[in-house]
Structures are given as C-alpha cells and as structure tokens.
Amino acid sequence: MTNSKTDYNKLLSGIVQELKPYFGQGQQADYIPELANVDPNKFGISLAFLDGRTFTYGDSEERFSIQSISKVFTTAAAFGLIGKKLWERVDIEPSGTPFNSLLQLEQEQGIPRNPFINAGALVVTDVLMSNLNDPYADMLNFVRELSGCSSIEYNQVVVDSELDTAYRNAALAYYLKSFGNLDNHPIEVLKLYIHYCSIEMSCTELAQAFHLFARRNRLDCNIPDLTPSQLKRLNALMQTCGFYDESGEFSFLVGLPGKSGVGGGIAAVYPDFYSVAVWSPRLNEKGNSILGMKALELLTSKSGLSIF
Amino acid sequence: MTNSKTDYNKLLSGIVQELKPYFGQGQQADYIPELANVDPNKFGISLAFLDGRTFTYGDSEERFSIQSISKVFTTAAAFGLIGKKLWERVDIEPSGTPFNSLLQLEQEQGIPRNPFINAGALVVTDVLMSNLNDPYADMLNFVRELSGCSSIEYNQVVVDSELDTAYRNAALAYYLKSFGNLDNHPIEVLKLYIHYCSIEMSCTELAQAFHLFARRNRLDCNIPDLTPSQLKRLNALMQTCGFYDESGEFSFLVGLPGKSGVGGGIAAVYPDFYSVAVWSPRLNEKGNSILGMKALELLTSKSGLSIF
Amino acid sequence: MTNSKTDYNKLLSGIVQELKPYFGQGQQADYIPELANVDPNKFGISLAFLDGRTFTYGDSEERFSIQSISKVFTTAAAFGLIGKKLWERVDIEPSGTPFNSLLQLEQEQGIPRNPFINAGALVVTDVLMSNLNDPYADMLNFVRELSGCSSIEYNQVVVDSELDTAYRNAALAYYLKSFGNLDNHPIEVLKLYIHYCSIEMSCTELAQAFHLFARRNRLDCNIPDLTPSQLKRLNALMQTCGFYDESGEFSFLVGLPGKSGVGGGIAAVYPDFYSVAVWSPRLNEKGNSILGMKALELLTSKSGLSIF
Amino acid sequence: MTNSKTDYNKLLSGIVQELKPYFGQGQQADYIPELANVDPNKFGISLAFLDGRTFTYGDSEERFSIQSISKVFTTAAAFGLIGKKLWERVDIEPSGTPFNSLLQLEQEQGIPRNPFINAGALVVTDVLMSNLNDPYADMLNFVRELSGCSSIEYNQVVVDSELDTAYRNAALAYYLKSFGNLDNHPIEVLKLYIHYCSIEMSCTELAQAFHLFARRNRLDCNIPDLTPSQLKRLNALMQTCGFYDESGEFSFLVGLPGKSGVGGGIAAVYPDFYSVAVWSPRLNEKGNSILGMKALELLTSKSGLSIF
C-alpha cells in the first residue's frame, strides 16, 4: 500500500503549499503565559516510516511543549504497569464534552470517560505516582528511551507558569479525590501531571517515540511491559478519544489514531507503516492545531495512507 | 392571627406525640467524622414569638453544629456589606440540583444559583474575607450579638475534621476560582467557610438570632447595615432556596422561610410573629432533618400560622 | 396590616408613573402568531381585596390569553380531584431550567419537576382528561364560576394557531408517554392543554378568580373539592415555581405567590388580604411580563403588603 | 496480511467454542413486541472477503431485523445525495450518551451528534424523504442492489408493532422539528424511519452489502453516487460512533468500523480485506449483541486482522 517510490519530500512540499491559505488563522494557547511566548507562526512536520525513511519540513527539529500528547505516554505506562485494572478507574469511551468538563464526571460518579481528557489523565498520573519508584525520573526516562534522545526535559518555567493558574485542573483533582478515585493528594497529583505536560520534544523526536504504536512491538524499556494487543488498544483509544470533542472530526477527515496538545503538536500513527508528528501553535476553538489537522488530512488523502 | 390564648406548651407536646412514629428514621451525617459522634436521638425545639414569649421542648438548650444554617448569617452580612452587587456574583434562583453539584456551576459559567448552596456560600465567604477587617472574629461577633450569647464559638475539632475531607468543597472553590469568581485563595476561602459552618448554637439561641428576619428591623450590630427591604428579600430567598432540592417540598408542607443544616438543625421564621428552631440529627436522603421537617409541618398546620 | 385608609387609586397611579421608563421594553411572544397580533402597549391592573374593594387601572377589563396562568386552575382542579396522588406523577420542586426543557425530564425519568412547567401541566391535563366527564366544558365552567363571568371562552383562533407550531410541546407529550406518565394519547392531551392555555380573561376576572387562593375557603363549585390546606399548598407552589427559572427573582422582588403567562398576564395573591392581576404583553427573556413584574414589585414595596 | 492459507472455517468453529460460556447471557430487545418473538438463542456469522471467499457458521442465512444497521445505508445514501451539506444538519462526533437521549439535542440546539444515534438518523431520513423520488422503494432497492438479493423487504408487522410504541422516537422527531431541523412532518419522517429499521437481511446478505465500505469503490447503483473518499469517511464514522455509548469499547476490543442494531446484528468491515456480519439477539445493557461483540473481538484477535 505504501509506495516506496512516492517522493515524500515533494508530497510534504505540496501539502505546505496547500496550507498557505490557513496560515495565520487561529490563536495560540494563552492560558499558560509561557506558551503565549512561542512564535505562533512556527510550523514543522516529521514523517517517520518504520523502514527507517524519515521526511521532514520546517521547524521539525525545534522542541515545543507536548502538553496533552504526554497523555499517550502516561496512559501507555500505566496500562503496562497495572494492566486491565486501569479501566476500572477510567473508562475508554469518547467524551462528547470539552476536555476539562466536570459535568460528565459528576454524571458518572468520578470515573473519567477516557484517559485523554484531563480528568482521566489525572487518574493515570495517580496510578503512576503509586506504581513508579520515581514518577518524575522514570516517566522522563521512558520518553527519552522511546525517542532515543536523552536530553529531553521537563520545562520548569512552563511548570511554574501552569501551577499558578491551574484552577480548573485543581478542581478536577479534588473532585476525583471526593469520589475516592485518587490515592494521592490532589495537589501532588496535579503537580506531577503538570510536569508530564511540560515535556518538550521536537516533531522528529515525537514521530520516533510514536513508532512504539506503529510497530506494536514489545518494548525494551524496563518500565511498562506492553503487549502488541495492549498497543493496538492504545491506538484504538487514540482513534476514538484523541481529539477531545473533535475526535469524530479528526477521524472523519484524517483517518489515523492520534493525539493533539494545546502546545500545537499532533502525533499520529498508521499502524505497520509510519508515525508522523506536526507542530503549529495556532489552535481552533476546540484546542487543536489548525495547520496540524489540515496537514494530516492532506497527508492521508494525498498519499492514500489511512486506516479506513 | 396568632392567638395569645393558644397553649403553645401543649401544642409542642402534641407535636412530639405525633412525631413518635418517625423517631429512629434516617441517618445522621457521617461524612464529617465529628458529626457522627453526636447522639442521633437528640431532639429539641424552641419557638420564640416577637412579643417575648418563648416555648421549648427537649434538648432545646444544647448546642449543635449549625452547619449550613450559617449561610443565612453570612449571606445577610455580605448583603449588608456590599448590597446588590452581591447578586452579580451569585444568583437568587432555586437550584434544582443537590447542594454540592458542580453541574449547574459549569452550565452557568461560575455563577452559583443561590447563596445557600455550597458554591454560593463560598462566594459569599469570599466577599466577607475581602470586606471584613477580621472575617473570623467579626462574623462570630455578629452571630453572638444576634443571639445575645457571647459564648458562641467555632468548634475547632469539627473544623479540623472537615478540613481533612472537604474534597468536594475544595473542588467547588477551585472551580469558582477558575471562573474568576473568587478573589482570595480557594483553600483560604474554604477554611473560613468551614469555620462558619462549625459554629455551635442551641435551638433557643438560633430562634433568638432569627428574630432579625422575623422583625425585619434595622440592626444595631455594627457590621451589616441591613434594611427592612433587604431582610424581606432574605426571607424570600430562604423560602425558595433554603432546603436544597427539597425547597419546594418544605415550602409546600411547612409554608415558612427557613434554612436547614446537615447537623440536623432547621431555623424558620413567620414574619411579624415568630421564629422557630428545631434540632434532630437524623436526616433524610436530601440532607434535611426528618423530625425537624415534620415538626415544623405539624406546627404550622396545627397552629394555622404559615405565610400562605 | 392593610390600611383601609390607603388611597389605592393613588397608589396605582403612582406605580404607573414609575413604570414609564420601562414602557416599550421587551418583546411580546411571537411563537404563537395570534399572540403577536395583540397591541404590545396594552397595560392593565386590577387589585381586588377580599373585603370587596377593587382598584383598577388601564386596560383592566380587556380580555387576553391567560396562557400558563391556566396551569394554576388546572392544577387546583386535578389536586381537588385525585388529591395527593397527583404528586406521584408530578413533583413540587422548582425547576432551575426553562419552562419547556426536556433535560430535567430525562434526568428525572419522566416525572416533571412541578405542575407549572409545560411538562407538568401536560401531566395535570392528562389527569383532568381521565377524571372529568367533559374536560373541555368542565374546566371552562370551573373558571367561569371562579371569576363569576359566564362569557369566558376558549379562543379557537389561538388554539388553531398554536396547534400548528406546538412541536416542542408535542415532543414533551410524547416523551412523557414514553415514560408511561400519560394515560391518554399525547396529541389528545396536547390539544386539551392548548385549549386551556387559550382561555381569555381580563385582569379583573383573573383577580376575582384568584380570590380562591387568597381566601383559601372551600369552594362551592362542584368539580374540585379543595380544602384550605390544599389551597395553602397551591400558594406555596406558586411561590416557589410560578415564574419558571425566574421564580427566585419574583419571590425576591415581589414576595407574593403568583403565576405568569406568555400572554403577558400575571396573577398573584396576598393570602387573607387580596389578589391582583396585571397585564402587559412585552416580555423579558425569561418569558415574564416586564411591566407586570415591575408593577407588582412596586405594589408590594409601596404598600408594604408582601408575605415576607 | 490476510493469510490465504488460514483455515477460516476452523477459525470460526474455534470462536464459537470460546463463545460457549457467554451463551444465554443478556436479554433480547422487548420494547418492540415483534422482536421479542424471535428465538433468543439464534447465532449466525458470515465472513466475506473481497476476493470472493465466504465463510459462515450457524444461522447465517436466516433473516433478522437489521434495525439500526440500516442507519449506515441511509447515511450513505444521504451523503451521496447531498454531500457535505449533510453535516450542517447532523454532526460527526461520538455522542457520549445513550442512543435515544434528548439531553444532548437540547444542549446542541437540535443538531444531533452523529447520524447513527436515533435523532441523527431521523434527520438523515428527512433528507431522503426530500431528495428521493420514492423514499420507500428507492432505499429498499439500494439495499437490494448492495446485497444482490431482490427479495429483501420491509417487515410490515415490525413496522406496525413499532409505530404503536415509538413514543420516544416521536418525541425526538417533534423536538428536531421544533429546532427547524426536519423539513417534513415529524410523524411522516418517523414512519419512514421505522420502515428502514424494519428491513430484514441475513448475515450473508449484510456482509455482502458491506463490501461497499470494505471496497470503497464507486457504486454502480443509481441513487447515491459515493466517492472512495466519502466511503472512507463513513468507515471513520462507524469507527467512532457505531456503537452508541459503547463505541470506545468496541473500537478498543475489536478494532473495526462497524454498526450494531437492537435486533442483535452487527456488521463490520476491515477495509481492503473483508466485511463480516454476526447475529445473536441477546443484548448487553447498552443495546449491543453480547455474542456479536465477543465473536468479533475473537475474530480480530485470533486472525490479527484489525485496523490498529
């Protein structure tokens, strides 16, 4: 299906041409002061085939705040650590409401709809806090191993900036605690969660790290011992829940499992073939990167490489 | 209308006779460990006419945790301090949902439905924190002056007990902060709010303090300068919002403005005539005292003294 | 309390003077084409003391569509006919959401929150359809007897106009039926309900009819055999639920049990003293008459005649 | 990926062996009397590769009521007829709430979340009613052409049975009409919708018809002129929305785009390779066939043939 003769460099250039009318649309996230300082016109993409070929364009090597994309790494780690028991504390259904809604949490008595909304990610973080020796160092090492870059770090300035204003996430954490769905102190869980979100990676590093989900092979990393079946299921989760209340739209237009972050990044995979990461800070009203969504839509429609 | 020849002592005894079948029904609040230590079979009532006659029965002089009844005092104080501006930050409509629901707060973008649900009371507490010199001492003095008892105190054991488990209220406070509807730190507001709830008063002290609302006369107290019109409106608020999602039921059966607390207390007023307080720790599933509700229903139907 | 020396003609004139700045504000209901044909600048008020004195101003003798005010008459009739069993099919709590919301009905499994929202009134209408010999003629006669005017009629043009566009009410009726809370066919119930809403009365006729609730005396009418206690409870219901999601506001500002209709009418009572009806077609965004609300607020604050 | 040497007959037998413990679990739909008459212990499966190989087991040739599986055919037809304009009237996001919820419809002002919940399917049906010459005959012919079986029919007994009790769907239809999102009369739309649901097909006929989505080739049928891109998007829709509020679960466990019906049928596709239909009337509490879900989970995990 993937044609090794396709000129992917040319394909990427063609995509960027078609993106031109969309440049400058949307706003970057400004609720975290530090994120508002990023140049909103950055754009990078990195397409990494499992056979080793990699194609990039633009600011593909510049690191940015991966934010909610970290939820894929933490969910993978927690799933590896405690297995199916994870799904007793967090569901696997699309949310139908914005990523930081308390409504659904109330209706469903403290069980978040999925691990990719904030409430779910806080529960996942609580699992890691209880099951890792050093939840700060161990998660960072996991991401470093996946991407092959030992210089990946938390951004302490982003952490501090976010801790000052994370009122809604603090509300979510306390609310989960009130339902008995956090073992640790809400503010401690929140602090760890914000660290995970603050991890900085480049498109190329992200694409490399997502090979895990494209390959679905057992990991060599120590921490999370993930089976191919588990990795398939994480792909399914990304497909149905990766883009908040725009997950249907992304699935409809792009047709790949993926995950977005308010830093403007999106990572996605075409199982058995490639992973791809794109970055552009300007977001639509649902909190997803406008150019990122469009670039991936063009990539799958032009290459014919989608799962459907 | 009020018959000075009615033998109210006999009326109260008669009510207690009719309450017998309901003794032992319901559970006392146990989410605050300290409240669970109270003898659940306590029962007291104090009926205080504005003309000075007072009739009591049972444990009417024993102090208990007034809990949410404190919301009437704090709302009165805040209304006196900042006037109509209070209603820009908290609405005056019945809630239709349980007292600690986050749902409605989300739908209404951080404006609590009324000052007698927890979210609303946190906003009121925030107003007091910003507008009183010493929000701890000043509120206590206000309640002392109203009831004429200078020995009324916060119960520090209840405060400590509640602070440890107030996860849902902490969630509400952070959530309000996320909407910009708290000026002070959420945990500081919560701490003050919990102190207010921990005030201990007897039925007779409560009935005396509620003369303010039955008389609707300007206060001599320094702090909140309440007009008769403001006091009328506080009565109207108690009528429509005083019993969480059972406010209609109370209005229907009892026909008096009033306020309940999970400590098992209820205070109510018949404007121009009397105020009444009743205490019994066993609650129905909506969080209101079973014997208290029933006693007041019998009082108004037997005496014919209700506002409707 | 009511001063027989007060010059109520002068009081009403004074109120109208103060209303001047509000004339022309708001829009009349236009979802029923026939209602949109009424002159929006009509204004009438009729104040009827139980001692027989009546004071009127403006278009007080002109009939208008009473619309939801009919819910008070139908609820009274149904309560008289089947007693407390009525409350097994419709609750008595304020709704917290707009009058035609399906949300709450879903959350509460087909039990409307109170008889004064449309869903509740449909259930009440179903009760009348099952318990009256001739639900069309009998209800009309009941209203005629209450007001002493045998010429009161359904307005067939309004009925036809409304039947064509009553999609949301039809949805409510079918939804209630799906929960088993209608005995009769949804469209038949809807048709009867729309007839009740189409009744036309003047302010003076409405005020006279509401003497029932101000007097709280057993009726001489044949159909609904209402006790004083039941009438008190209907007053309590009007107090907490009479103005949709503005019931708290009305209670707060006016302090009387009452009921509004989208025809621009409001009827209210001060138990033991008077009933009052006001009519002005321009509505606020909650569906209540702007001048009507304001006129009653001024009436109670100027005369000091409110229940609180 | 698909191994032509795999013995799929043996694979199916193996699956049925593993299903044994689940036989007898769950209840068949009984809200439609006619559906309750079906033998609940029926089980059939039909696996049809695009290369022509077909493998079946059990009652694979017996026709059953396809019910909501018809929504895939009607959505495909409407998408073909009016293209992207369809998505202005119905969204493409997972619902997060049960299939017949009115809640979300109220929150989203009459735009159903997706075409596979009842509200969305009613809008789709309205589109067909307005855009087909003979919406009854044309849709039936479309399904007949897809499956190659000209004897496929509506079941008039099921239609009559459902029309008598379709109160909730009638409520949905009237509610959509109240938002202006139906062009035709609600009851007419409902009647047509119920006909579509009453279509009866066997597993083998369904699997054959779903080749359309597995092949994603332009149709020879006259009516809906579907492009490969449109067919891909219908697959994406099935993936995220095909199983009501269990869509995440199905995606997670099975990893194929598919659609279930309360008749106990499920049809699914593995693009480029096969389509599969399974039938067993006993449903879980979410309304999906228990054996059907489990059979497909086993099929993809044993064969390794899923999209993730």
Contacts of B104 in chain C (CB under 8 A): 96
Per-residue pLDDT, D1: 45
In degrees, to the nearest 5, what angle opens at C-alpha D66 toward C-alphas D15 and D40?
A: 55
Contacts of B173 in chain A (CB under 8 A): 171
The reply to whether residue B308 touches residue C257, judged by beta carbons under 8 angstroms, is yes
* Beta-carbon-side half-sphere exposure of residue C302 (alpha carbons within 13 Å): 19
- Most A CBs within 10 A among B174, B176, B187, B188, hence the mutation to make, goes to B174
In chain B, pLDDT over 70 holds for what percent of residues? 95
DSSP-assigned letter for residue C84:
G
- Closest Cα in chain D, distance from residue A94 (Å): 6
The reply to whether residue A94 touches residue D96, judged by beta carbons under 8 angstroms, is yes
Q: Per-residue pLDDT tens for D62-73? A: 999 999 999 999
Whether C224 has a pLDDT exceeding 90, the answer reads: no
Least CB-CB distance to D248: which of A240, A245, A307? A240
Least CB-CB distance to D252: which of A237, A252, A272? A237
Return mean pLDDT, chain B: 93
Whether B187 has a pLDDT exceeding 60, the answer reads: yes
Give the pLDDT band (50/70/90) at residue B1.
Answer: very low
What 3-state class would DSSP assign to C305? coil
Q: Per-residue pLDDT tens for C244-257? A: 888 899 999 999 99
Q: Which residues of A250-262 are buried (b: 16+ CB within 10 A; e: fewer)?
A: bbbbbbbbbbbbb
Over residues C133-160, mean pLDDT: 96
Per-residue pLDDT, D223: 66
Per-residue pLDDT, A258: 97
Contacts of A104 in chain D (CB under 8 A): 96
**Looking at chain D, which residue has its C-alpha nearest residue C170?**
D174
Position with higher pLDDT, D35 vs A266: A266
- Closest Cα in chain C, distance from residue B36 (Å): 29
Whether B162 has a pLDDT exceeding 80, the answer reads: yes
CA distances from A160 to A33, A118, A194 (A): 10, 18, 9
> Is A266:A296 a contact under the CB 8 Å cutoff?
yes
Give the range among A63-67, C93-97, C139-143, D124-128 with minimum mean pLDDT.
Answer: C93-97
Least CB-CB distance to D171: which of C101, C103, C174? C174
Residues of D annotated catalytic, as ranges? 68, 71, 193, 244, 262
In chain B, pLDDT over 90 holds for what percent of residues? 81
Strands D54-58 and D64-65: unpaired
> Is A110:A131 a contact under the CB 8 Å cutoff?
no
Return mean pLDDT, chain D: 93
Neighbours of C17 (CB within 10 A): 10
The reply to whether residue B107 touches residue A106, judged by beta carbons under 8 angstroms, is no
Over residues D148-168, mean pLDDT: 93
Among the listed residues B194, B224, B236, the one whose alpha carbon sits nearest the alpha carbon of residue B76: B224
- Closest Cα in chain A, distance from residue B101 (Å): 8
Whether D149 has a pLDDT exceeding 70, the answer reads: yes
pLDDT of chain A, 308 residues: tens digit per residue: 455 678 999 999 999 999 999 999 999 988 788 888 899 999 999 999 999 999 999 999 999 999 999 999 999 999 999 999 999 999 999 886 666 677 778 878 899 999 999 999 999 999 999 999 999 999 999 999 999 999 999 999 999 999 888 999 999 999 999 999 999 999 999 999 999 999 999 999 999 999 999 998 877 776 678 999 999 999 999 999 999 888 899 999 999 999 999 999 999 999 999 999 999 999 999 999 999 999 999 999 999 888 99
Whether D220 has a pLDDT exceeding 90, the answer reads: no
Per-residue pLDDT, B222: 66
Domain boundaries, chain A: 8-303
**Looking at chain D, which residue has its C-alpha nearest residue A243?**
D93
Give the pLDDT band (50/70/90) at residue B120.
Answer: very high
In chain C, pLDDT over 70 holds for what percent of residues? 95
The reply to whether residue C240 touches residue B93, judged by beta carbons under 8 angstroms, is no
In chain C, pLDDT over 90 holds for what percent of residues? 81
Per-residue pLDDT, C1: 45
Whether B221 has a pLDDT exceeding 90, the answer reads: no
Whether D3 has a pLDDT exceeding 60, the answer reads: no
- Closest Cα in chain C, distance from residue D110 (Å): 11
Over residues C198-206, mean pLDDT: 98
CB within 8 Å of B191: residues ≥ 6 apart:
B159, B163
Over residues C201-225, mean pLDDT: 88
The reply to whether residue C251 touches residue B240, judged by beta carbons under 8 angstroms, is yes
Write the class of the CATH domain B8-303: alpha beta
The reply to whether residue B248 touches residue C114, judged by beta carbons under 8 angstroms, is yes
Six-digit token pair at C55? 């004071």
User: What are the helix (H) ranges across D43-101?
Assistant: 70-82, 86-89
Whether residue A72 lies in the annotated active site? no
Strands B64-65 and D258-260: unpaired
CA distances from D16 to C22, D12, D58, D203, D253 (A): 75, 6, 9, 16, 17
Position with higher pLDDT, A185 vs C5: A185
The reply to whether residue A178 touches residue B171, judged by beta carbons under 8 angstroms, is yes
pTM of the model: 0.92
Contacts of C173 in chain D (CB under 8 A): 171
Give the residue carrying structure tokens 């318990």.
Answer: C131
